Amino acid sequence: MSENEQGWTGGQHAFGDFAPGMVHYTDRVLFDEVWEREGLSKRDRSLVTISALTALGKMDQLQFHLDFARRNGVSDEELKEALLQLAFYAGWPNGMGATTVLKNIIENDA
């Protein structure tokens, strides 16, 4: 598949010409290659990613990935439950922060 035929452009939208390396590795490697591997479904990859981002307290990235998980078939109730579970293993402040991010996403869609 040529570069123009690949579908992921999140890095390009975020950085344009400012950081071409970040654009390349985000769009072409991470999303066009890693996320497309057969070993896990996109739904499962989303849950793994949300777990890591929550544990690390990376709320900026979590904003995108919680919404992306919803598009990958994870329900809002499943996300709430996953974040509750994570709060006990990743730290209460991280769980609270992640739940706040999810709440804002859901309320903005209403």
- Domain map (residue ranges) of the chain: 8-35, 41-109
Indicate whether this model's pTM tops 0.75.
Answer: yes
**Using one digit for the tens of pLDDT, what is the confidence trace for 20-43?**
999 999 999 999 999 999 999 999
* Averaged pLDDT score across all residues of the chain: 93
Please give the CATH topology (third level) of the domain spanning 41-109: AhpD-like (1.20.1290)
Binned at pLDDT 50, 70 and 90, residue 58 comes out as: very high
Determine phi and psi for 74, rounding to 5 degrees: -85, 125
The rounded distance, in Å, linking the Cα atoms of 15 and 28 is 14
Residue 5 has pLDDT above 80, yes or no: no
Binned at pLDDT 50, 70 and 90, residue 6 comes out as: low
3-state helix vs strand vs coil in the chain, percent to 5:
75, 0, 25
